[in-house]
Amino acid sequence: MRICLLNDSFPPNIDGVSNTIFNYATILNERYGDVIVATPRYPGAKDHYPFDVVRLPSIDTSKLIGYRAGNPFSRRALEKLVSFQPDIIHSHCPFISTVLARELRELTGAPIILTYHTKFDQDIGRAVRIKPVQDAVISGMLINIAACDEVWACNRGAGENLKELGYGGEYFVMPNGVDIDRTPVPPEELAALDAQYGLSPDVPLFLFIGRIMWYKGIRIILDSLRTLKNEGRAFRMVFVGDGLCYDEVVAYARTCGLEEECIFTGAILDRKILKLWYSRADLFLLPSVYDNNPLVVKEAAACATASVLLRGSSSAEGVIDGVNGLLTENGAGAYADGIRAVIDDRSRMRKLGENAARDLYVSWDDSVANAFARYCEFLAKRAPVKPLSRMEPIRVVSNLYRVSETGKNLGQKLIAPLKK
């Protein structure tokens, strides 16, 4: 099978979805067929992968949306993708990547599967402050999604978020996996980490890994820990990651009087070091209502570390309070209560972690195998579709590059509210 994976985020940009694309591409290419990835170009990016990567000409929109924006009408990129002749086009972002996917479908006849990972309405709300423009962007996103041949959601919460935004079609739940295995970390490596950061095995250690953005619930973490410190409780808190709010978060931790308790490591790309942190932590903290099926919760579970999550959030899907994790109401007070209930009971935290490893862990091998089986099932029941032209892709691409109906219609949808 020839599979084209599209996403607006890919290394060197690191987040949960770029990690998803990397693992899909690596495993599919190794075991199931040929893979090509299309993604925006990053200055200095080196694509030394066993699969092909097509980089779209891009502009820097990272301060607005967290990653660069590619040109989905790039003639050169489209020619490379058409020549690959994919059997499946799998987009992991409903914006530029899916515009590109729709162009590619017109040229090749290959169907589009879209995976919906993120609560994009929240992203749009942060990036665009004008309500009519927000509505227009969401409407354009829904047009793109509805145009796909099949829609997947990384969990039920993501699918229901999509329904709430106005998507009227069906979706198929396809959970993501993690690339951290469940083999224990050698004790001497944990001891070396303690020595490097001045940690004591007798003091509870809490962990956050991800983009350092307020919407991840970081303020709740810091406010709850300030309460616990004021009660005289000892702990250390480690933040691993980088993001637009990094400096603000560091400053707020000082304001909370937590400069001695908090460690900010910055971004860590080495998966072995990340596994060390997951394994060393007593609890993983993620009071986020933004994330859908976050990989970090599963990665923590792989290392027998339980998470403290918000009750009813998509992040908490599959977590049973007091069994394989802790669930609290939204707010610093309730979150502090959840941590307080176990902070003095290390054996209980270990038991929660062991149950999380048993109940929540999904490997990427299993996840991608399930995805490939769904590809096969979908192709088997789908009638062949004739492309615009397989014989003259350069002429067709040339026409699409000049006037793209997809781009034109989407542009008119976005501009219309501004004319009122």
Overall average pLDDT of the 249-277 stretch: 96
- Residue 393: pLDDT over 80: no
- C-alpha gyration radius of the chain: 22
DSSP state for residue 8 in the 8-state scheme: S
Q: What is the pLDDT of residues 267-314, one digit of tens each?
A: 998 999 999 999 999 999 999 988 877 889 999 999 999 999 999 998
CA 343 to chain centre: 29
178: its two tokens: 């993690």
* Candidate CATH numbers 3.40.50.800, 3.40.50.2000, 3.40.50.720, 3.90.1010.10; the one for domain 2-177+364-419: 3.40.50.2000
Domain 187-360 is of which CATH architecture?
3-Layer(aba) Sandwich (3.40)
Q: What is the mean pLDDT of residues 30-47?
A: 95
Lowest-confidence pick of 18-22, 104-108, 211-215, 408-412? 408-412
**Region 400-417 average pLDDT:** 46
Average pLDDT over residues 100-117: 96
Cis-peptide into 43, omega within 30 deg = no
Helix (H, G, I), strand (E, B) or coil at 395: helix
- Is 179 within 8 Å of 296 (Cβ atoms)? no
Does this model's pTM top 0.75? My answer is: yes
Helix ranges, 216-345 (H):
218-230, 246-255, 271-280, 295-302, 332-340
Q: Which two tokens stand for residue 306?
A: 């339980």
Q: In which residue ranges of the chain is CATH 3.40.50.2000 found?
A: 2-177+364-419, 187-360
